[in-house]
Each structure stands twice: as structure tokens, then as C-alpha cells.
């Protein structure tokens, strides 16, 4: 996540009352809430400075919303010995004790996330839920990093682990999670959105980098009472964000994501049926670099490969492209200026979803264990790219 304008705010402290940690049943009345927003904030790194300004914006946003809107945040800050769990209701903040000493500090530990989700389910009842994970993005299958204080190397949670936890949580709620927002850089990839397809009705992510701390919180929460579904929530997030905090946003309708393998497989099969692809085209394909890994817009990637052999029938590719744009991708927002204008042309030419782009023959099977690879033989296609 790119850090911009970090000197443009003051650390104001938390607005509203902070109550001592105590039994949640003693401090929070049991209501049927309209919206419950769960933030997972793995800021045990250089993003720690942004945690409290975000908390302040959330507090301001919940004022005068009564019990209809509740925001919960579990955060992990650099050099703090344990995570914090806070509940934001009607402009007040309550600090809640976290049980389980073994998992209080490590935000890369899936047990910590599972415990948080289990607690939320046992504590609240709401018509609509959203899960938002903030922080650095890492490689395709990395999220929620933790910088350990005892000189251990930085560790990450797997996106596959994270997605399984949220999908299980969504299932126990009867499918009431409306939106999963990857508020991380470079998570609008085909591998990630397929992995997360059962987490929520919609997934919001960015194909490129996002800024920090972001500024949509207050306006979003002020208007949340009038929002009825995950699509509206995502569009409100996008509409409330400052242009210098993003380049692009991609909103995915998860009702259609299950169909991606059956639509993509004929495209891959057509390319595999033809003679060797021209290796020289690889250097011409525009790619994005993030955490020492390359990504490429999925449709740009496939069109480049198809252009290497005129015998390739492009009907399946055209059908797949139409399916992505008309069904899977509910909204593609461009026009942000996080890096000025240098990537705006690339955004206009993209569809909004990336795919892993292997750097060499040795890296083609890096994500063979993710769900998409088990459904579509991308590894064989990658192998063919490297046959000279």
C-alpha cells in the first residue's frame, strides 16, 4: 500500500468515550443492527501511524447513527504487545478484551482472524455485514503481514487461508456478508477473486496500488443507513474516496465467479491446440511489478498470446471477455491519480482484473495450489510460453 499525504492530518486521539475492557454483554445492548462492518487491520509495520486517524474518521462517521450502524476494528500496531479490539457505535468507542494470549499479537496467524470472526458472530446480529481488510498486499497469495518483535522474519497470512475463514463465517451467517473489501494493493487478480468467491456477495479490490490512510470512512458511515446491499456499499466507498488514494477499483459480482473456469477453459484449450506460441511477444506484454512479482491484465495477456498465431480462433476469447465485462465485473472505476497520470492510459486499456505473469519457467507453478489452477490448466499455458 502506497503511503501518501501522511502529514496532512493530526493524531487527534479517539473521539468518544473509551470504556474499560469488560464483558461485551455488560457494555453493548443487543440490537438487530442494519449494518455491521468488520475491519481487520494488520498494521504491525510501517502503516501503524495511520491506524488512529482511521479510527477517528470512523468515530465521526458513526455519530447520530444510533444502533443501526456498528463498526468493529481489530488492529495490530507496530511495537504493541497485543492487538486491540474496538466497537464504534453512535460516536462512542468501546475497548474489548481479547481472549487467548497465544494469538493476541500475531495478525498473520489465521487463528487470530478466526477468533475475531467467531466473537463477532456470537456478539452481534445484523441484517447486512461487510468485511474489510486493510494493509499491505504482498504477493498474490499473501495478506495480513506481521512484523515480529523478536527478530523473526516477517510472516504473512495466505489469501487462501483468509478466504476460507471469511467464507466459513459467511456461511454461518446465512450468506449475509454483502461485501468483502480488499483494501490492499494489487488484489484485483483472477486468482484472488476466485479464491474469495464464497466470502461475500461482492468483492471490491484494486488492480494497482492504493494509498493510505484513505478518506472514505466518515461520509460512508454517515450514509450507511440508506445503503441496502454490497454493490451500493462498494460504490459508496469508491465515491467517497479521494482521487489521490487510488488508481483503479474493481467491483466483482460473486454470483458469476463460479463460471469463470468454464468460460476460460476453452480459451486456454484453443491456445494449447496450436503450435508453439512466439516467445518474443512476452517482452511486449505490459506488466505490473509488486513485491517482486509480475501481474498482467487478464484480457491484455490473453489477447497478446492470441496474436502470436493467426490460426487461433478468437471466438472463445471474445466470449470470455464479454462475460468478464458484462457479468463478473460489476463496476470498474478509473480516474484516480495516486501516481499522477503515468498509469491512467494503462487503466483505460485494462479490464480491471490481473493474472499472475510468471517471470521464468521456474515460477510457472507458484500458485498451482490455489483454486483457480485446479479448475483451469494455466500452468500448461505458462509452460508453452517458455518453449523456445
Number of domains within the chain: 2
Residue 129, Ramachandran bin (φ over 0: left; ψ between -120 and 50: alpha; else beta)? beta
Omega before 251 cis (within 30°)?
no
More confident residue, 384 or 169: 169
Q: What is the pLDDT of residues 27-58, one digit of tens each?
A: 555 678 999 999 999 999 999 999 999 999 99
Both 272 and 210 in one domain: the answer is: no
Question: Which one of 189, 220, 255 terminates a domain?
Answer: 255
Domain assignment present for residue 2? The answer is no
Domain assignment present for residue 5? The answer is no
CA atoms of 377 and 296, how far apart (whole Å): 17
Which range among 65-69, 115-119, 199-203, 339-343 shows the weakest confidence by mean pLDDT? 339-343
Cross-strand partners of 37: 71, 130
Domain assignment present for residue 162? The answer is yes
* Segment 24-28 long-range contacts (CB within 8 Å, at least 24 positions apart): 24/96, 24/123, 27/94, 27/96, 28/87, 28/89, 28/94, 28/123
Domain assignment present for residue 9? The answer is no
pLDDT at 153: 86
Q: What is the pLDDT of residues 209-251, one digit of tens each?
A: 999 999 999 999 999 999 999 999 999 999 999 999 999 999 9
Instruction: Please answer whether residues 27 and 94 qualify as being in contact, where contact means their C-beta atoms are separated by less than 8 angstroms.
Output: yes
DSSP conformation class of 189: B
Which range among 269-283, 285-299, 361-375 shows the weakest confidence by mean pLDDT? 269-283
Question: Which one of 222, 255, 288 terminates a domain?
Answer: 255
Instruction: Please answer whether residues 230 and 251 qualify as being in contact, where contact means their C-beta atoms are separated by less than 8 angstroms.
Output: no
pLDDT at 343: 61
Is the model's pTM score more than 0.85? yes
Amino acid at each position: 500500500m502506497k503511503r501518501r499525504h501522511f502529514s496532512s492530518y493530526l493524531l487527534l486521539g479517539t473521539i468518544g468515550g473509551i470504556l474499560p475492557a469488560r464483558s461485551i454483554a455488560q457494555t453493548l445492548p443487543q440490537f438487530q443492527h442494519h449494518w455491521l462492518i468488520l475491519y481487520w487491520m494488520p498494521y504491525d509495520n510501517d502503516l501503524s501511524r495511520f491506524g488512529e486517524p482511521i479510527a477517528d474518521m470512523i468515530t465521526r462517521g458513526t455519530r447520530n447513527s444510533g444502533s443501526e450502524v456498528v463498526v468493529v476494528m481489530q488492529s495490530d500496531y507496530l511495537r504493541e504487545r497485543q492487538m486491540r479490539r474496538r466497537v464504534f457505535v453512535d460516536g462512542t468507542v468501546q475497548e474489548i478484551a481479547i481472549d487467548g494470549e497465544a494469538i493476541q499479537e500475531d495478525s498473520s496467524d489465521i487463528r487470530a482472524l478466526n477468533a475475531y470472526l467467531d466473537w463477532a458472530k456470537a456478539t452481534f446480529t445484523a441484517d447486512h455485514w461487510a468485511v474489510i481488510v486493510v494493509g499491505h498486499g504482498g504477493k498474490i497469495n499473501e495478506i495480513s503481514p506481521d512484523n515480529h518483535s523478536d527478530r523473526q522474519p516477517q510472516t504473512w497470512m495466505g489469501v487462501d487461508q483468509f478466504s476460507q475463514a471469511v467464507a466459513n463465517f459467511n456461511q454461518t451467517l446465512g450468506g449475509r456478508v454483502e461485501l468483502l473489501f480488499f483494501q490492499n494493493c494489487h488484489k484485483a487478480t483472477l486468482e484472488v477473486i476466485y479464491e474469495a468467491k464464497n466470502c461475500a456477495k461482492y468483492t471490491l479490490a484494486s488492480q494497482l496500488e492504493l494509498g493510505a490512510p484513505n478518506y472514505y470512512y466518515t461520509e460512508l458511515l454517515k450514509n450507511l443507513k440508506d445503503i441496502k446491499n454490497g454493490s451500493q456499499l462498494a460504490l459508496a466507498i469508491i465515491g467517497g474516496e479521494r482521487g489521490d488514494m487510488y488508481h483503479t477499483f474493481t467491483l466483482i459480482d460473486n454470483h458469476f465467479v463460479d463460471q469463470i473456469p468454464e468460460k476460460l477453459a476453452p480459451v486456454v484449450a484453443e491456445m494449447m491446440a496450436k503450435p508453439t506460441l512466439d516467445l518474443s511477444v512476452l517482452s511486449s506484454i505490459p506488466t505490473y511489478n509488486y513485491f517482486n512479482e509480475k501481474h498482467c491484465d487478464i484480457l491484455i495477456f490473453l489477447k497478446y498470446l492470441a496474436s502470436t498465431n493467426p490460426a487461433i480462433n478468437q471466438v472463445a476469447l471474445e466470449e470470455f471477455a464479454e462475460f468478464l465485462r458484462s457479468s463478473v465485473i460489476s463496476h470498474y472505476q478509473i480516474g484516480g491519480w495516486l501516481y499522477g497520470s503515468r498509469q491512467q492510459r494503462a487503466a483505460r486499456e485494462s479490464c480491471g482484473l490481473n493474472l499472475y505473469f510468471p517471470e521464468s519457467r521456474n515460477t510457472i507453478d507458484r500458485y498451482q495450489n490455489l483454486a483457480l489452477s485446479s479448475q483451469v490448466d494455466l500452468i500448461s499455458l505458462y509452460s508453452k510460453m517458455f518453449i523456445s
